[in-house]
Amino acid sequence: MRDRSVMKTFKDILRATIGCLLIPVFHLPRLFFLLLLVSYAYVFNRHDTLTADPKEHLKRAKKLLRRQPADMLYAALDVRFAIERIAQRELIFAEKASARSLDEYDPVKKVKALRRVDPQTAHPHRVFFVDKALGIRLDWGQYKPLDQKKAAYYKGRLGDLLHPKDSLRLGLWDDPWYRDTKVFLSEAIDYLSGLAQDNTPFFSLQDLDNSLQLTRLACGELQLILPAKLP
């Protein structure tokens, strides 16, 4: 019995020794790698930066609305960026769009330029992929237009926020102006977020493979038709 106890103790000591030897060989490199990930996240992800993605602007605007009332002005700036990014994203796919309209900062003028290229951009469309040979009709996506009247309203209201308000009771967070402005910004963020999510640019389908035939139906559908015989 004593010999078994000695052998068990010896095995436990051996396992502990092997475990200690594995620390620098196996565990320390893993710990070092995790520390690198943490340091990378701390350095590069702790600050918001400007991007070309309207969803990032709207996400930051939502955060700003949950902070101090004065941060509404910065939220308004991000909403303004988002509108312009959404309009620009549609316009850059239009081959007939002029360089002047692409360089324009006014989102309303961008929307008007888009309508001049094709009036159908004012209407929502469902996009379907059709293979007539196999009898397949798949839902490809959807196009959601930026409403011109809403773009004009948002632009005017957001521009007004950048000017000092003489009638605003400074220092009083419960002034009705703050409440009304927050409601407006929240509604604008919700509308634009829905527009930016899963939205296929209207003219992006023109750059697809030439073997696909793009057909526009009167019911608000765009069909990408695969010919029965490929070239």
Residues near 154 by beta carbon (within 8 Å), at least 6 away in sequence:
79, 80, 83, 188
Matching residue, tokens 């990014």: 85
Domain layout of the chain by residue ranges: 1-47, 54-122+144-202
The 8-class DSSP code of residue 71 comes to G
**pTM (two decimals):** 0.70
The pLDDT value given to residue 231: 44
pLDDT tens figures, 179-199: 888 999 999 999 999 999 988
Rounded distance between C-alpha atoms, residue 22 and residue 18, angstroms: 6
pLDDT tops 80 at residue 108: yes
- Residue type for position 25: V
| Cross-strand pairs, 226 | 131
Say how many CA atoms lie within 13 Å of 119 toward its Cβ: 0
Count the Cβ atoms, other than its own, within 10 Å of residue 91: 23
Rounded distance between C-alpha atoms, residue 61 and residue 77, angstroms: 8
Pairing of strands 125-131, 136-143: antiparallel
pLDDT tens figures, 36-59: 766 656 655 555 666 678 999 999
Q: Which residue has the higher pLDDT, 128 or 211?
A: 128
pLDDT tens figures, 79-104: 999 999 999 999 998 888 888 988 88
Rounded distance between C-alpha atoms, residue 185 and residue 20, angstroms: 59
pLDDT tens figures, 130-177: 777 677 777 778 889 999 999 999 999 998 887 777 766 666 777 788
| Element housing 16 (H / E) | helix 2-22
Tokens representing 109? 């003028």
Query: At 114, is the pLDDT very low, low, confident or very high (cuts 50, 70, 90)?
Result: very high
CA-wise closest residue to 98 among 87, 119, 114, 81: 114
pLDDT tops 50 at residue 230: no
How much of the chain, in percent, has pLDDT values that exceed 70? 65
Where do runs of H (alpha helix) occur along 162-210? 176-196
How much of the chain, in percent, has pLDDT values that exceed 90? 28
116 CB burial (10 A radius; 0-12, 13-18, 19+) = middle
CB 119 within 8 A of CB 113: no
